[in-house]
Chain A
Amino acid sequence: MLTMIGKRLMFAIPSLIGVVIVTFLLTRALPGDPAAYFAGPAATKEAVEQIRKKLGLDKPLIEQFFRYTNDLAHGDFGNSLTTGQPVATEIRNRLPASAELTLLGLIVSVVIAIPLGVLAATRPGSWVDHLCRVTTTAGVSLPVFFTGLVLVYIFYFRLGWSPAPLGRLDVFYSAPPTVTGFYLIDTLIARDFEAFRSALSQLILPATTLAIFSLAPIARMTRASMLAVLASEFVRTARASGLSPATVIVTYAFRNAMLPVITTLSMVFSFLLGANVLVEKVFAWPGIGSYAVEALISSDFAPVQGFVLTMAVMYVLLNLVIDILYGVIDPRVRLEG
């Protein structure tokens, strides 16, 4: 297994190098002049040039690139100009926020979508099947920011059940000491149950928003894959042997239907992590997506490059994990083969 992981990581290196080059060139091709932007509204031409020099943007592109890769090799992602902080620190602080939200959203989604998909597959044409179809269609056709705003409107503004959409913790709680960066875990480690409660209640609405959105692909994939497996011969044999329907469905059919579902899950997770910008905006969530978008708007190169690179690394790792899981779930899949 270790050699397999090593091999996979080796294969990832060229794609990462490609990502570094492409993001570097793309950010340089963005319209807008960061020097003029950061020189402020009242800047004279000389002031803009001064800033350009300070930022090292007056150097030829190739020199800028070598400096950038050299810094990268030393673990330095550069400084963000909009927030004034080192990009590496910012990403380290913000990634857990996004990951916690996305994971929770995904868990909620899985808990609903998989049983729904399984039930819909076992009773095609029944009300459960229709329910599954309606929920997934609705979930995927409602834009996330819209669902988010509606949830805020109903549960915060109208009913007052949910806390103010002010980010990860209520304003008057202080963040727990960082261990994992996940507030739900860190508050428990710190034994600060009030903060845990606050963190959890802050998470419910945005996680639900994400769950509604990601319900569709998971439920549809579960249903389709279950239908295919249920129609196969080994299921017929199992049924003919007189096994109880529960055993047939859970032990034989579902386990075999999991492979495509896992693939979908990995896709949905990586997609959500990058694409939950809008949810982050709606809930003032200090995540990585909103950070990247803000940087993009102000032509702030370093965070955009850092973001794309982080995402690329995450994709590579995620794919690796999924491939390993394949082998674990289905012995027929041989990665070496």
Chain B
Amino acid sequence: MKRRDFLKSVSGLAAGAALPAVPTVISSAYADARSETLLIVSEGGPNNLDIHGVGTNVPGYEVSWNCYDRLISHEMKSGPGGVPYYDRDKFKGELAEEFKIDDMSVTFKLRKNAKFHDGTPVTAKDVKWSLDRAVSVGGFPTFQMSAGSLTKPEQFVVIDDYTVRVDFLKKDRLTIPDLAVIVPCIVNSELVKKHASEKDPWGLEFTKQQTAGSGAYKVTKWTAGTEVIMERNDDWVCGPLPKIKRVIWRMVPQAGNRRALLERGDADISYELPNKDFQEMKANGKLNVVSLPFSNGIQYIGMNVTKPPFDNPKVRQAVAYALPYQKIMDAVMFGLANPMFGAAKDKPTEVAWPQPHKYNTDIEKAKALMAEAGMAGGFETTISFDLNFAGVNEPLCVLVQESLAQIGIKTTINKVPGANWRTELNKKEMPLFTNVFSGWLDYPEYFFYWCYHGNNSVFNTMSYKSAEMDKLIDGARTAAASGDKAAYDADVKGFVDLAFTDIPRIPLYQPFVNVAMQKNISGYQYWFHRRLDYRALVKG
């Protein structure tokens, strides 16, 4: 290259760079596409389209829910504020036309006209293969199946092409509900087997990239971290044909921009916005904002009971009296949560969970309890939180820090990066921390089994162990399975009371799922998994 030529070409490039401004022209085809398409914007997208995959994240559950069918699903009922809410106790067939629950098994008759996206009919061998897969792949899906005592492939029996029986290992009230969660989805076994290999016998690599189900939608394009495009499956027979033809789900990392997109009318639905935004959008009334409590979910302050000073119940009670509950509700949650504190003194314990405890902010009482525990001088400790949810956790911990200082507890805030949070929880060494737990299956004994039982699961973040508590929890599980209502009620009340007097974890509030959508969007349904069900949504 010659010097002069280069210099000439540079000036040419500079001249070419002066680009004209361009107006956007909206053609009519474009307007039509809009009216049949749902545009969702959210912070994160799926990392895997198959819930059976390794490390599938929560947005991936949403894809699975809409693109695969299960044998059964829940009926809807009217929830808080008239919003349709899944009915915990009522089931309906999805792929199953009918089902019959016997003493030690349940038999499903499949719909004869159901087809997978590639046109092959859904048969009993697909059901068996899919359920075998769920209990065999390991990791989260297998764990979730075991929560309903579904652990062995032998439990799933093919009777004929369109009949499947699931045998119970033992009586467990959670077996049927566990068949209606996201995990036991039915996969196109012939198609996936073609792509399976010795190293990957369940074809997880194949289903990671594409959906192989029979559900109401199918993924037509997925660019990880950018967008997912789903088209309606017009041959879907497991329910009324959905109104939305196409779903475009875009990842927009900036919360402020997601709000701007909604308010300008460009996006149809968004969630995962800061509480303050939801509260403001609710107030100005331009959009529909639905806020519903997490079923069976609680944000709490946990204390490690194996180590001093929190091994002393008096200290734990003192902390429970020192927390700034109302301030957290107002300044952190902007009212978008159900308070789980300050129940009336004489209120009887209910057979329900979550329910508020009777602690309230009372610094004098807290000080007295600290003195009783021989800790009048206070102590120093650290309070940890997960940075992935810093929007809520950080102000919350600052308020707690401020409040605990009043009773002499000096706390340093320890921000744990999201990648590290689970490792830290598993170690069970953090003295004081805040976290959320929420169970898909909405039963008190389910929550307590994971969070308070002495078998010390990862969610028993306090390492709490009490023989009495274990007896009550196990008692409630047995009573639920055998249908002994009186014993069940007594046990549930018993473990709730014990959890509140021993107070290893202090419930703060039940968070809300907030979804903001345009006024012309209707049909939103609340599901236990808290993600969107496109099948019921209507635009216009």
Evaluate whether A81 and B7 lie within 8 angstroms (CB atoms) in the complex, with A31-B417, A42-B140, A167-B250 already known: no
Q: Is B261 an interface residue (CB 8 A)?
A: yes
Query: Is the pair B224, A83 in contact by a Cβ cutoff of 8 Å?
Result: yes
Query: Is the pair B139, A43 in contact by a Cβ cutoff of 8 Å?
Result: yes
Query: Is the pair B257, A328 in contact by a Cβ cutoff of 8 Å?
Result: no
Q: Is B266 an interface residue (CB 8 A)?
A: yes
Q: List 6 A-B contacts (CB under 8 A).
A: A36-B422, A37-B418, A51-B139, A156-B260, A204-B21, A328-B6
Question: Using Cβ atoms and an 8 Å threshold, which residues of chain B touch A167?
Answer: 226-227, 250
Total number of A residues with any Cβ neighbor in B under 8 Å: 70
Choice from B6, B18, B144, B225 contacting A294 with Cβ under 8 Å: B225
Choice from A50, A81, A152 contacting B260 with Cβ under 8 Å: A152
Question: CB-defined interface of B2-42 with A at 8 Å, one 1/0 digit per residue?
Answer: 11001100000110011101101101001001100101010
**Once the chains are docked, how many angstroms separate the CA of A232 from the CA of B282?**
67
Query: Is the pair B47, A36 in contact by a Cβ cutoff of 8 Å?
Result: no
Query: Is the pair B419, A37 in contact by a Cβ cutoff of 8 Å?
Result: yes
**Once the chains are docked, how many angstroms separate the CA of A329 from the CA of B54?**
55
Query: Is the pair B34, A286 in contact by a Cβ cutoff of 8 Å?
Result: no
Q: Is B55 an interface residue (CB 8 A)?
A: yes
Question: Using Cβ atoms and an 8 Å threshold, which residues of chain B touch A90?
Answer: 224
Question: Using Cβ atoms and an 8 Å threshold, which residues of chain A touch B17?
Answer: 107-108, 110-111
Question: Using Cβ atoms and an 8 Å threshold, which residues of chain A touch B426?
Answer: 36, 45, 48
**Once the chains are docked, how many angstroms separate the CA of A135 from the CA of B33?**
43
Using a CB-CB cutoff of 8 Å, which residues 215-252 of chain B contact chain A? 223-227, 248, 250-252
Q: Is B138 an interface residue (CB 8 A)?
A: yes
Q: Is A157 an interface residue (CB 8 A)?
A: yes
Question: Using Cβ atoms and an 8 Å threshold, which residues of chain B touch A194?
Answer: 25, 27
Choice from B22, B47, B250, B253 contacting A290 with Cβ under 8 Å: B253
Question: Using Cβ atoms and an 8 Å threshold, which residues of chain A touch B142?
Answer: 47
Q: Is A18 an interface residue (CB 8 A)?
A: no
Query: Is the pair A284, B257 in contact by a Cβ cutoff of 8 Å?
Result: yes
Question: Using Cβ atoms and an 8 Å threshold, which residues of chain B touch A286?
Answer: 223, 225-226
Min C-beta distance of B197 to chain A, whole Å: 15
Question: Using Cβ atoms and an 8 Å threshold, which residues of chain A touch B25?
Answer: 194, 197
**Once the chains are docked, how many angstroms separate the CA of A54 from the CA of B137?**
12
Query: Is the pair B18, A32 in contact by a Cβ cutoff of 8 Å?
Result: no
Evaluate whether A291 and B225 lie within 8 angstroms (CB atoms) in the complex, with A157-B264, A284-B250 already known: yes
Choice from B1, B27, B251, B457 contacting A284 with Cβ under 8 Å: B251
Query: Is the pair B224, A36 in contact by a Cβ cutoff of 8 Å?
Result: no
Question: CB-defined interface of A85-97 with B at 8 Å, one 1/0 digit per residue?
Answer: 1000010010000
Q: Is B423 an interface residue (CB 8 A)?
A: yes
Min C-beta distance of B213 to chain A, whole Å: 18
Using a CB-CB cutoff of 8 Å, which residues 20-48 of chain A contact chain B? 30-34, 36-45, 47-48
Query: Is the pair B55, A39 in contact by a Cβ cutoff of 8 Å?
Result: yes
Question: Using Cβ atoms and an 8 Å threshold, which residues of chain B touch A36?
Answer: 422-423, 426
- Number of chain B interface residues as a range: 35 or more
Query: Is the pair A166, B1 in contact by a Cβ cutoff of 8 Å?
Result: no
Query: Is the pair A44, B143 in contact by a Cβ cutoff of 8 Å?
Result: yes
Question: Using Cβ atoms and an 8 Å threshold, which residues of chain B touch A42?
Answer: 140, 143-144, 458
Choice from A32, A166, A172 contacting B417 with Cβ under 8 Å: A32
Query: Is the pair B422, A152 in contact by a Cβ cutoff of 8 Å?
Result: no
Question: Using Cβ atoms and an 8 Å threshold, which residues of chain A touch B6?
Answer: 325, 328-329
Using a CB-CB cutoff of 8 Å, which residues 144-187 of chain A contact chain B? 149, 152-153, 156-157, 160, 163-167, 170-172
Query: Is the pair A297, B418 in contact by a Cβ cutoff of 8 Å?
Result: yes
Query: Is the pair B419, A299 in contact by a Cβ cutoff of 8 Å?
Result: yes
Query: Is the pair B422, A329 in contact by a Cβ cutoff of 8 Å?
Result: no
Query: Is the pair B19, A200 in contact by a Cβ cutoff of 8 Å?
Result: yes
Known: A93-B223, A197-B24, A201-B22. 14 other contacts (CB 8 A): A32-B417, A41-B422, A42-B144, A43-B458, A84-B208, A90-B224, A111-B14, A152-B257, A153-B260, A167-B250, A282-B257, A290-B225, A291-B225, A329-B7
Choice from A51, A164, A170 contacting B55 with Cβ under 8 Å: A51
Query: Is the pair B257, A43 in contact by a Cβ cutoff of 8 Å?
Result: no
Query: Is the pair A328, B3 in contact by a Cβ cutoff of 8 Å?
Result: yes
Query: Is the pair B140, A47 in contact by a Cβ cutoff of 8 Å?
Result: yes
Most buried by B among A107, A165, A284: A284
Q: Is A82 an interface residue (CB 8 A)?
A: yes
Q: Is B420 an interface residue (CB 8 A)?
A: yes
Q: Is B263 an interface residue (CB 8 A)?
A: yes
Evaluate whether A163 and B1 lie within 8 angstroms (CB atoms) in the complex, with A108-B17, A284-B252 already known: no
Q: Is B256 an interface residue (CB 8 A)?
A: yes
**Once the chains are docked, how many angstroms separate the CA of A191 from the CA of B400?**
60
Question: Using Cβ atoms and an 8 Å threshold, which residues of chain A touch B275?
Answer: none
**Once the chains are docked, how many angstroms separate the CA of A110 from the CA of B139?**
53
Min C-beta distance of B459 to chain A, whole Å: 8
Question: Using Cβ atoms and an 8 Å threshold, which residues of chain A touch B254?
Answer: 149, 165, 281-282, 284
